[in-house]
Amino acid sequence: MRPLHGFILHAHTKPEKADAFEALFRSYVAPSRLEPGCIEYHMLRDQQDPTLFIFYEIWQSREHLAVHENLPHMKQFFDNRMDYLARDFDVRLIDMLSPSSASR
């Protein structure tokens, strides 16, 4: 089985921008899950630190992930990300080695 590609991303927002960041990315979850090659797409918010958001995304291939990252709304956000963030993203690239549980 070929590994699936993805990442775990930590986004540390400015306290006054946390709710706006959440609202913006909540609107991206459903459309992102419908994109070709999307296996998993999850946005989480830390209970102890409400300025910390964690994204867990798995894509069928690096090419599918690249298409997602280059969509106009994603490129626009990336260009303006520091309006929301206290520091730049912490990203860990991962390969998913176990089968997805999303279809259970």
* Backbone region of residue 99 per phi and psi (left: phi > 0; alpha: psi in -120 to 50; beta: other values): beta
pLDDT digits (tens, 9 = 90+) for 23-40: 999 999 999 999 999 999
User: For residue 96, what pLDDT is reported?
Assistant: 79
In this predicted structure, the answer to whether residue 1 has a pLDDT above a threshold of 60 is no
Q: What are the extents of the domains in the chain?
A: 4-96
> Is 0.75 surpassed by the pTM of this model?
yes
Contacts of 21 (CB under 8 A, 6+ apart): 11, 13, 53, 84
In this predicted structure, the answer to whether residue 101 has a pLDDT above a threshold of 80 is no
Model confidence at 3, pLDDT cuts 50, 70, 90, reads low
- Which class in CATH covers the domain with range 4-96? alpha beta
